[in-house]
Amino acid sequence: MSKRAIILFNLGGPDKPEAVEPFLFNLFNDPAIIGAPGPIRYLIARLISRRRAPIAQEIYANLGGGSPLLPNTQAQARALEMALTQPGEETRCFIAMRYWHPRADDVAREVAAWKPDRVVLVPLYPQYSKTTSGSSLKEWQKAAEAAGLTAPVSTLCCWPEEPGFISAAAALVRETYAGALAHGTPRVLFSAHGLPKKVIRSGDPYQFQVEKSAAAVVEALGIPQLDWLVSYQSRVGPLEWIGPATDDEIRRAGQDKVPLIVCPIAFVSDHSETLVELDIEYKHLADESGVPAYFRVPVVATHPAFIDGLARAIALKDRQGGLSCAGGGRLCPAAFGQCPARA
């Protein structure tokens, strides 16, 4: 019986209050996040993590003191294993978190000990960015080499328009939209984590792919004259970030007196940015801004269409080999030089 290892990558999150500061340090010490030379980056990461830890601990206090991202990702891993099961082959999903446990080094050693015949790398970020998927894949490569992992590797670098993902997201938006109609004709805000503009200017395809995802969901919805747009949340620091900003769009919805539906288009699992930022902080802002009604679309999580679609994309990538977007090849125009997929 052949053995196939699927490595699922995600951000990670602190599992208890005392893990918040080291988690933040790991985040800001990543050269993909802060590009300063190592010693300077280390000092900056120490400073930022110490300053932000008390604020972040208050955020995670709303979640019982820690992030639910790992158990949510574990549920997705179990669902994918079931969807990928086939006669004559054993498939096992491993989870490697970028900034908290389980870290890539430990997971790579575990995978090597399992001795798979093939490995498929799958970031759980629908849209590629060097700051997320790119950072995780780079760390994994080093960890796999150190662990002596030599099995053939395939990489699914992104899947912003994967049909199962789009179908699941559209179904969840459609259900929310139907409920919101009781308050008037709603506006749909597809909210994604923001990035500094300089990252996008360097050729990072993230914003391009986020907009492709949102447009695909809108097409799948088929709602005539739908009022919708893409916005970006979670700005940090003094740099200029891509926009429009989600908080600004919430205020505009209040001025326009339209019900607001917020869909987290770049997140497939609940964590602090959905359960706190969207559900608590932005809901409060919507109330303050005079938004008639505020709704948040659930993440795709283990929605059957999403799991089945991602499983199909993984199986196809396993057969194709190499590194590419879902379906094979490269989605991004040549101008996006940070896209890792071959042309």
The answer to the question of whether 240 is labelled as a binding residue is: no
Which residues contact residue 226 at a Cβ distance below 8 angstroms, ignoring those fewer than 6 apart?
188, 218
Token pair belonging to 269: 């699992």
Residues 6+ apart with CB under 8 A from 145: none
271 is known to lie in a ligand binding site: no
Please give the single-letter amino acid code of residue 138. Answer: K
314 in Cβ contact with 301 (< 8 Å): no
Phi, psi (5° rounding) for residue 103?
A: -85, 165
CA dist., res. 65 & res. 187, Å (int): 33
Alpha-carbon distance 111 to 333, whole Å? 35
Q: Is the dihedral of CA 280, 269, 291, 285 positive or negative?
A: positive
How far is the C-alpha of 165 from the C-alpha of 312, rounded, in Å?
Answer: 11
Tokens of 191: 């909210």
Q: Are 41 and 47 in contact (CB under 8 A)?
A: no
Strand ranges across the sheet with 227-233: 227-233, 187-193, 260-264, 294-296
Q: DSSP alpha helices (H): ranges in 18-132?
A: 20-28, 38-61, 69-84, 104-114
User: Which residue positions form the known binding site for Fe(2+)?
Assistant: 193, 273
